[in-house]
Amino acid sequence: MPEPIEVRKVPLHNVTDASELAKLIDDGVLEADRVIAVVGKTEGNGGVNDYTRILADRAFREVLVAKGSRTPDEVKQVPIVWSGGTDGVISPHATIFATLPREKAVQTDEPRLSVGFAMSEILLPEDIGRVAMITKVAAAVTEAMAKAGITDVADVHYVQTKTPLLTIDTIRDAKSRGHDVFTEDTLTSMDVSNGGTALGIAVALGEIEMPRDEDVLRDRTLYSSVASCSSGVELDRAQVVVVGNARGVGGRYRVGHSVMTDALDQDGIWAAIRDAGLELPERPHHTDLNGRLVNVFLKCETSQDGQVRGRRNAMLDDSDVHWHRQIKAAVGGVTAAVTGDPAVFVSVSAAHQGPDGGGPVAAIVDLGD
């Protein structure tokens, strides 16, 4: 049986700041050697050349090495997923997951938060956005579920991944070996990588049958309702964190999920919070949360028809500011208005992650006294 989970959200005071992680360790809230995953937002441009992710990654890993007994190579194996871009009111932050000794956790047979992690086989540049990627990701999701002690796919509520996107160097590498790639537009490859990964999650969880290469980014009816996929230049395989609930684990926390049907769907966010176990009034307000919401995790996407609720917008035609940044800022504002907290995990490029123009929402709540 997996150990119970402690989960905390901390601010980033600057792009290389991990002081709040260090404080949690120094205060005995969690142990450095028990940190098993970090999911966070950094303040860069969210694009191919967003090196704030690398800077934040280094800062957090240095604290884990300095405060614990694991070697730098061992700490490198800890999944730390950074989503770049805090457009609008979104505030840089990190959500830290750590195991607890069983005797320190609340004992209960009710479903409680459990986390599993796995790395896929190496993803070659020619794999990205194709069945080869979908297959490798699906296998890693299944492995991570097993590590979390989750046997029923219905108990999986959030799958956070980080995968490689395409760069000039990796495109050149594929060509040198006689292969082509899905796209030679490196920014578009972010959508390709995220979309292919989401389809792998959906296959692993039985949400869809195995798609074809030509379905990626084209058939938007194929999606996962729990996938949250991010990509960057930091790694060469899929890093998969499965978050769900399991009985007998114990602890104070529980996760739930829902989907936003469009960029303004506040009800989708509230539905995820309710699904996690909080009782709320019919028309809730952020003051009803009473500090029990740890964080929400969302993916968002501009609708392919260029509309929201029948009203035209110009995001897909804007040549000055890419739609990635515009929709992220918009949904970030909607989400912060719901939670009353701008430190929310809102990530863009949600191809095959929730319905077109919407996206999946996961919420972690504290059910302790």
Instruction: Provide the annotated active-site residues.
Output: 162, 230
CB burial of 97-110 (b: ≥16 within 10 Å; e: otherwise) equals bbbbeeeebeebee
Q: Is 369 helix (H, G, I), strand (E, B) or coil?
A: coil
Among 148, 90, 146, 51, which Cα is nearest to 326's?
Answer: 90
Which residues does residue 231 pair with via DSSP β-bridges, in sequence order? 163
Token pair for 106: 């609340």
Query: Rg for the chain (alpha carbons), in Å?
Result: 19
CA distance 39 to 31: 17
Q: Which residues contact 57 (CB under 8 A, 6 or more apart)?
A: 80, 82, 234
Report the chain's terminal Cα–Cα distance, integer Å.
24
User: Residue 192 is which amino acid?
Assistant: V
- Token look-up 């790639």 returns 181
Packing angle, helices 131-147 and 188-204, rounded to 10: 50
**Alpha-carbon dihedral sign for residues 343, 266, 245, 86:** negative
DSSP assignments along 292-345, one per residue: -EEEEEEE----TTSEETTEE--GGG-SSS-HHHHHHHHHHHHHHHHHS-S--E
Among 165, 169, 172, which Cα is nearest to 186's?
Answer: 165
Helix, strand and coil content of the chain, in percent to the nearest 5, comes to: 35, 25, 40
CA distance 207 to 257: 15
H-assigned helices in 4-51: 19-26
Contact predicate 91/11, CB 8 Å:
yes
For residue 72, what is the enclosing H or E element?
A: helix 72-75
